[in-house]
Chain A
């Protein structure tokens, strides 16, 4: 489901529709009682609103439609007040939130279309199919708008590694994402994976797709042209994923040996055909509007298309291709069968369009006609089975201003108040910890090279995919640090946006726009709603300061089990542009003898920020204190400086400093390049005191670059001219990582430990 347009006017329902034609309720359907209303998740107030809109009681089909249209998932009723505060505009934004995905201008007559969406709950119930259909859904959001998908990413959060379900969930989710993405032939190029006990009962599976389209051939969902045919294409409709409430329907009781599947099953083969067929049809001029059938399937797609065009639809449900016998109107309208699309064609184009779908062996059916009534009229077996006004349902869904409270700011910890530990022990432990250990075991199960344009594979700061047939590239990343967000949602929201911006910058890309996936607990709790509000505030501030608008997104609330909510997790999916792939930076050390330079500094120029750091959490076992502050003007200044160096061709090795701090970042560059590094501090200077805070503090807005000696001086001079902190922190070379001389750690053994944790964990072995 897409998020409401920020500028869209929320219309409240007017007077009830004047004349209501008789609507027949099939005798097999249950009658609508207060219990049935409650089962459908509508509050008594919402049901009153529905009665007002309709001017009579709804039948079961109509109630089902109200229920899905006004669900949190489709209506954003708790979140839209706050989502509207996020900046969505920039000169390069072609289409912000409100369509299937966001669209930005990337030059050369091309547009980049992208979005991220969650499939959290289904993935917890059935990890393989849940994750697979999540990938399928987000792919459809993007190619619906005319883009060929060129990359997938995913942000995954699992429970504690010790939790008995975690291993099974990791295994299933990863196989599902791979099984779907690999088959459709879209490379899965990046993402992130965290573990935290707060996700034990609610894992997060956030999938992102990035596509490229011709700028003048973008397809939207607003229907137009009274009399135009409404066409259904793709897979047949079965009883997949129908709202749990239907399990108790009368018909089900009468035929109880047949269990209805509520888990959707994905068919990537059909999706691949659907992509090709849709893109082939989009190359013609036949399509007026197109919309994928995602959550709430035929209901949401038909209502949205009609509502956006201010029109009505007269639909004959007998024409809907059906996989199972005896499906009711209720089931047809609520089914979440996968790999289906709804479109409005220009008159007279049906035969040509049908020929394309025949070629790809997909169903094609004219199921309805656009009308000027503003009503959705559904017919089945010759009778009207539902007759609903469209706009009140689609646009006047309830909007809540839920009560919320601010999270109390935790105290800031002084570096000296955090006990020191031997850096070698700390580093060895951190780089082999669940959050920082290599995720190779996961991304090697994803085809990350198909399409032949993957220029930076998984494992770097951002993935880079070449724009086919050019020397330009798109950089992409997903980021969020939930442990910061829970401590200080506002700083956490800022940090998530800033880190995505920083990761794009670190490869040399100009960050253009982002998509977000807001994962939170129960918004009816003021403290959870407060997390949401404050995260939005922080994000909005960062988006504005960094010229990095939100162009699409998705909200997933109620991620709670037995009253235990997840850490607030506003996942940011960022996209940036590289104009010359010859001037791109990567993370590994390239050669011996390079000078390693740190750009940016600890806030205030001394110490290091240990509050909420991995040092504090994973070494000392304390989830405490305030997370690092994000100074957005410094963030921007430092990032613009680094990007300038990369664009000038002077820097080609760069890595941002984030989780785990400076020493972890240095170790990552050493391990990736197979080259050691001698780190040196100047003990006479206050900046590196105390040492453990300097090495492991997680101060923001920092980058490491490695350059030949002759470049280093010039870069330092330039940095001081523009006021960017810049200091030498080491020299590459040898096979070990050392700090101020002394006993070092072998890069090979660090790498072995870094690579071993996840495969050993998945095999059920203890890490060495």
Chain B
């Protein structure tokens, strides 16, 4: 699998996700600087990593969404190239209009870094094939702006099309408002585009992909990609 990781000036999970990709695929991903305007032709996957892109001063991800490289990412994704956005990457993909909805300030207004439980809503995608539908996984979040919002019509559309990838749940897999860490509508933690070739998620699968770090529930996501795209 040939993957590219986009690097903005204040990306800070670029190395972390590159490590996870290399550990599962055996191939070092290409690190692509934000001022680049093209991506190689033979890419299998683009990852937009976590961090603060350009400082996130206007709205998280807003300025990055209009960077030269994101124009290329968007156009390649329209031609079917898979894209994974994690945390700030998810924010950038929504700001770029590649995913529905928007990520607002957490309901309690504080940055939150903690492990959360997620219910895998479908295993039927190249990102989630190694999970079971309905499975509960433990993956950390670390964000200030992860409160997913979409208006009623959009929400209905993404539910009808089964575009929700992950929802915040309790340890037993029950999706309850009390375990919603950030106020996201319908406890949404990750969404696909219509074709399920683009996934944005607030939790960081790369942070728990190795037992020594306290868990490996994030690893199947990378294994799924390697299997689907190699």
Q: A178-B111, A185-B51, A445-B113 are in contact. Are A452 and B19 (CB under 8 A)?
A: yes
Q: Is B51 within 8 A of A269, CB to CB?
A: no
Q: Is A466 within 8 A of B9, CB to CB?
A: no
Question: Cβ of B12 < 8 Å from any Cβ of A?
Answer: yes
Out of B55, B204, B207, which one reaches A183, CB within 8 Å? B55
Q: Is A360 within 8 A of B12, CB to CB?
A: no
Q: Which residue of B lies closest to A466 (CB)?
A: B212
Q: Is A272 within 8 A of B111, CB to CB?
A: no
Q: Is A452 within 8 A of B12, CB to CB?
A: no
Question: Cβ of B90 < 8 Å from any Cβ of A?
Answer: no
Q: Is B214 within 8 A of A457, CB to CB?
A: yes
Q: Is A452 within 8 A of B9, CB to CB?
A: no
Q: Is B214 within 8 A of A360, CB to CB?
A: no
Which chain B residues lie closer than 8 Å to A446 at the CB level?
111, 113
Contact with A along B190-230 (1 / 0, CB 8 A): 00000000000000101100001110000000000000000
Q: Is A273 within 8 A of B9, CB to CB?
A: yes
CA of A269 to CA of B13, assembled, Å: 15
Question: Cβ of B114 < 8 Å from any Cβ of A?
Answer: yes
CA of A252 to CA of B84, assembled, Å: 54
Interface residues of B in 1-34 (CB under 8 A from A): 9-13, 15-16, 19-20
Which of B111, B114, B212, B213 has the most chain A CB within a 10 Å cutoff? B111
Q: Is A182 within 8 A of B16, CB to CB?
A: no
Which chain A residues lie closer than 8 Å to B140 at the CB level?
449
Q: Which residue of A lies closest to B33 (CB)?
A: A359
Which chain B residues lie closer than 8 Å to A269 at the CB level?
9-10, 52, 54-57
Out of B54, B55, B57, B213, which one reaches A455, CB within 8 Å? B213
Out of B110, B113, B212, which one reaches A175, CB within 8 Å? B110
Interface residues of A in 427-467 (CB under 8 A from B): 443-455, 457, 466
Question: Cβ of B155 < 8 Å from any Cβ of A?
Answer: no
CA of A360 to CA of B110, assembled, Å: 29
Q: Is A447 within 8 A of B113, CB to CB?
A: yes
Q: Which residue of B lies closest to A272 (CB)?
A: B10
Q: Is B207 within 8 A of A182, CB to CB?
A: no
Q: Is B204 within 8 A of A272, CB to CB?
A: no
Which chain B residues lie closer than 8 Å to A172 at the CB level?
none
Which chain B residues lie closer than 8 Å to A273 at the CB level?
9-10
Interface residues of B in 124-171 (CB under 8 A from A): 140, 142, 144
Q: Which residue of B lies closest to A581 (CB)?
A: B212
Nearest-neighbour CB distance to chain B for A362, whole angstroms, equals: 10
Nearest-neighbour CB distance to chain B for A268, whole angstroms, equals: 7
Q: Is A450 within 8 A of B110, CB to CB?
A: no
Which chain A residues lie closer than 8 Å to B52 at the CB level?
182-183, 185, 268-269, 272
Q: Which residue of B lies closest to A187 (CB)?
A: B113
Which chain A residues lie closer than 8 Å to B111 at the CB level?
175, 178-179, 182, 445-447
Contact with A along B78-111 (1 / 0, CB 8 A): 0000000000000000000000000000000011
Q: Is A452 within 8 A of B113, CB to CB?
A: no
Which chain A residues lie closer than 8 Å to B19 at the CB level?
452
Which chain A residues lie closer than 8 Å to B50 at the CB level?
450
Out of A185, A361, A453, which one reaches B12, CB within 8 Å? A185
Out of B10, B16, B20, which one reaches A451, CB within 8 Å? B16
CA of A619 to CA of B13, assembled, Å: 46
CA of A449 to CA of B10, assembled, Å: 16
Q: Which residue of B lies closest to A469 (CB)?
A: B19
Q: Is A452 within 8 A of B16, CB to CB?
A: yes
Q: Is A452 within 8 A of B142, CB to CB?
A: no
Question: Cβ of B112 < 8 Å from any Cβ of A?
Answer: yes
Out of B11, B57, B113, B204, which one reaches A448, CB within 8 Å? B113
Which chain A residues lie closer than 8 Å to B212 at the CB level?
455, 466, 581
Which chain A residues lie closer than 8 Å to B114 at the CB level?
444
Q: How many interface residues does chain A have, given as a range? A: 20 to 34
Q: Which residue of B lies closest to A276 (CB)?
A: B9
Out of A179, A272, A448, A457, which one reaches B9, CB within 8 Å? A272
Q: Is B110 within 8 A of A445, CB to CB?
A: yes
Which chain B residues lie closer than 8 Å to A185 at the CB level?
10-13, 51-52
Which chain B residues lie closer than 8 Å to A454 at the CB level?
213
Q: Is A449 within 8 A of B51, CB to CB?
A: no
Nearest-neighbour CB distance to chain B for A440, whole angstroms, equals: 8
Contact with B along A172-184 (1 / 0, CB 8 A): 0001001100111
Interface residues of B in 54-84 (CB under 8 A from A): 54-57
CA of A445 to CA of B11, assembled, Å: 19
CA of A312 to CA of B228, assembled, Å: 64
Which chain B residues lie closer than 8 Å to A450 at the CB level?
12-13, 16, 50, 142, 207
CA of A184 to CA of B56, assembled, Å: 12
Which chain A residues lie closer than 8 Å to B54 at the CB level?
269
Q: A272-B52, A451-B16, A452-B213 are in contact. Are A361 and B112 (CB under 8 A)?
A: no
Which chain A residues lie closer than 8 Å to B20 at the CB level?
452
Which chain A residues lie closer than 8 Å to B112 at the CB level?
444-445
Nearest-neighbour CB distance to chain A for B201, whole angstroms, equals: 16
Which chain A residues lie closer than 8 Å to B56 at the CB level?
183, 269
CA of A263 to CA of B151, assembled, Å: 41
Q: Is B113 within 8 A of A449, CB to CB?
A: yes
Which chain A residues lie closer than 8 Å to B207 at the CB level?
449-450, 452
Which chain B residues lie closer than 8 Å to A184 at the CB level?
10, 12
CA of A739 to CA of B51, assembled, Å: 49
Q: Is A183 within 8 A of B142, CB to CB?
A: no
Which chain A residues lie closer than 8 Å to B16 at the CB level?
450-452
Q: Is B10 within 8 A of A183, CB to CB?
A: yes
Q: Which residue of A lies closest to B57 (CB)?
A: A269
Q: Which residue of A lies closest to B11 (CB)?
A: A185
CA of A451 to CA of B110, assembled, Å: 21
Interface residues of A in 452-497 (CB under 8 A from B): 452-455, 457, 466
Q: A444-B114, A446-B113, A449-B113 are in contact. Are A361 and B9 (CB under 8 A)?
A: yes
Nearest-neighbour CB distance to chain B for A447, whole angstroms, equals: 5
CA of A448 to CA of B214, assembled, Å: 13
CA of A182 to CA of B9, assembled, Å: 14
Nearest-neighbour CB distance to chain B for A173, whole angstroms, equals: 13
Which chain B residues lie closer than 8 Å to A451 at the CB level?
12, 15-16
Which chain A residues lie closer than 8 Å to B110 at the CB level?
175, 445
Q: Is B113 within 8 A of A360, CB to CB?
A: no
Nearest-neighbour CB distance to chain B for A136, whole angstroms, equals: 14
Nearest-neighbour CB distance to chain A for B74, whole angstroms, equals: 23
Q: Which residue of B lies closest to A271 (CB)?
A: B10
Q: A444-B114, A445-B112 are in contact. Are A182 and B55 (CB under 8 A)?
A: no
Q: Is A182 within 8 A of B142, CB to CB?
A: yes
Q: Is B113 within 8 A of A444, CB to CB?
A: yes
Q: Which residue of B lies closest to A473 (CB)?
A: B212
CA of A225 to CA of B111, assembled, Å: 47
B residues near A (Cβ < 8 Å) are 9-13, 15-16, 19-20, 50-52, 54-57, 110-114, 140, 142, 144, 204, 206-207, 212-214
Known: A269-B9, A445-B113. 7 other contacts (CB 8 A): A182-B111, A183-B10, A185-B11, A272-B12, A447-B111, A452-B206, A457-B214
The 3 closest A-B pairs by CB, nearest first: A185-B12, A269-B55, A452-B16
